[in-house]
Structure 1
């Protein structure tokens, strides 16, 4: 974090209990509080400031617990086992990139920004070649904003549970990040470079929705034709009005925390991007 104490604990606002707002500490912009005045939640019992509530436009809604004001205790119940990779590969885990109103999904914008920071780090600011299909269609413009073009590009491929690893093996693999443990998926006996991607975003790239009522081959499926004519109410996917732009804050905050940023090449890259 660029401000605040180290080792703060973040929880969802709905998981907070027995706290009340300190109204004199609730500075922010026109849409809510952004935590700039410091802790703005106090214990209902003793009145001590214990946490900071963030609820402003363009920010995740969070409650940050101050490490010197709370104690962490284990739950009485044993933790549930995290889902395995095969479970996370199911199509229902997909997060569509476009919201119903035609805007890009905020989770996608943030996840792509984080993944691009890792991609810049593992390629050391060198050109990359994306695979054809959904990865290029959805991420090509975003990658072009952060990495150069040119010869000797490092190849990038999509890999993960249920789809395996492309052959020949690309230089860099886009793999899902486990939503509970945070660890990236890795192919067995493979320690080459991987770029972790939000599991819901990865699932959509690995198992994209149907995008056309016309089949690649064979006959039209039932329900697509009405009285021998292509239906005009077929649910086409929403089309955003602009190309996908990664969240630059997510990119910046991730990149500066990766060990690779200490190398001279990436330090020059980072300095060149700063205004």
Structure 2
């Protein structure tokens, strides 16, 4: 098993269909923060204890499960059985509401939680209190270099059939949007044209005040020309989770696959060639689908990310959080 970064959409709830696996086979990711039951309401926890657990704005309930749960693809699990009395879910599958629902086949100890309900990315979360890593013979996998990112990192298409925006894009942009607000200092951000503008401009213009005092945003990373800017949107390594470093005043990481798609996109549309093209040379693949609506970042992922940034304690950013939370159905950027 090779370690990768925890995807931005790990805790995303999307639609009412069955979603694919969170991770590729043969990989695993670690969640550093507490997760799972028991959960305690905000009024019972209080702001001081919540901040000690990395939550800086009020949320409905805080998880008090273990830190360091390990996500793997469901197909990579061996030697476990379901615990029938813990196999509850919301609709079409299992979730984590009752705690671990998988037990060791030999000893019966609860060891993991399988999540595969509709609207949830399918994964098995190993309980760090019941499992341990074990080394195997063979060479360790070396993380890919930054120069290999464009060739080795899968970039999810921004638009899926039949024209819906990719939920992975919606989650990753929501995470980066929260971090952009945090480094903006409450000043307007000037967004460059192109895919970055399509993903971020409307939200930033809606949530930040207008005015002459502004900070410039650029897309920076391997394969792009070096440009001085106030804020750089850079790739986050898909294996190590580290951000590309540059000389910008502030650096905001973006999921590598989304960054690659933005940095090296080709928005040219296919057009028919000369009339009478032989059928044998016509392409069988249809052109990429066009989106059926403007891009909108994932609101719940945005609020969850913002609540876990220390900068959210600043009054102006707390006001942005509360505005989005209370007017979620009327803001044009959500």
TM-score by length of 1: 0.84
Q: 1:158, 1:165 within 8 Å by CA — same for their partners in 2?
A: no
2:88 is the alignment partner of 1:27: yes
For residues 105-157 of structure 1, the C-alpha deviation after alignment (integer angstroms, 9 at most, x for no partner) is 11111111111111111113432111012221343334445444443221111
State the Cα distance separating 1:88 from its structure 2 match.
0.4
The residue aligned with 1:159 is 220
Secondary structure of 2:112 counterpart: strand
Once the two structures are superposed, residues 216-275 of structure 1 have per-residue CA deviations (whole angstroms, 9 ceiling, x without a partner) of: xxxxxxx732349xx999954312221111112222222222232233433343344433
Compared CA separation, residues 237 and 44, structure 1 to 2 (3 A): same
**Alignment correspondent of 2:243:** 184
> Deviations for 1:74-122, whole angstroms, at most 9, x for unmatched residues?
3433421111111103497432200132111111111111111111111
User: Could you say what the CA RMSD is over the residues aligned between the two structures, in angstroms?
Assistant: 2.6
3-state SS, counterpart of residue 233 of structure 2: strand
| 2:262 aligns with one of 205, 209, 213 | 205
Q: Does 1:224 align with 2:273?
A: yes
Q: 1:172: which partner in 2?
A: 231
Partner residue, 2:135: 74
Stretches of structure 1 that go unaligned for 5 or more consecutive residues are: 215-222
| CA distances 1:158-191 after superposition (whole Å, capped 9, x unpaired) | 111001323xx2211111110000011112xx26
- Structure 2 gaps of 5+ residues are 1-34, 36-61, 327-334
Contact 2:153 2:238 in 1 (8 A): no
The aligned residue for residue 115 of structure 1 is 176
Q: CA 1:142–1:58 in 2, change beyond 3 Å: closer, same or farther?
A: farther
User: What aligned pairs does 1:1-275 form with structure 2 within 5 A after superposition?
Assistant: 1=35, 2-3=62-63, 4-90=65-151, 93-144=154-205, 146-166=207-227, 169-187=228-246, 190=247, 192-213=249-270, 224-227=273-276, 235-275=286-326
Indicate if the aligned counterparts of 1:25 and 1:38 stay in contact, CA closer than 8 A.
yes
C-alpha separation in 2, matches of 1:7 and 1:210: 41
CA distance, structure 2, for counterparts of residue 14 and residue 244 of structure 1:
33
Aligned-partner Cα distance in 2 for 1:75–1:191: 41
In 2: Cα distance, 1:49 partner to 1:62 partner: 16
Can you list the C-alpha shifts for 1:29-83, whole angstroms capped at 9, x where unaligned? 1121121111111111111111111112222212111121112233433421111
Contact 2:198–2:295 (Cα < 8 Å) also in 1: no
When residues 213 and 272 of structure 1 are mapped into structure 2, their CA distance, relative to the original with a 3 A threshold, is closer
Preserved CA contact (<8 Å) 1:127 1:153: yes
Q: Which shows bigger deviation, 86-95 or 26-35?
A: 86-95
- Three-state SS of the structure 2 residue aligned to 1:225 is coil
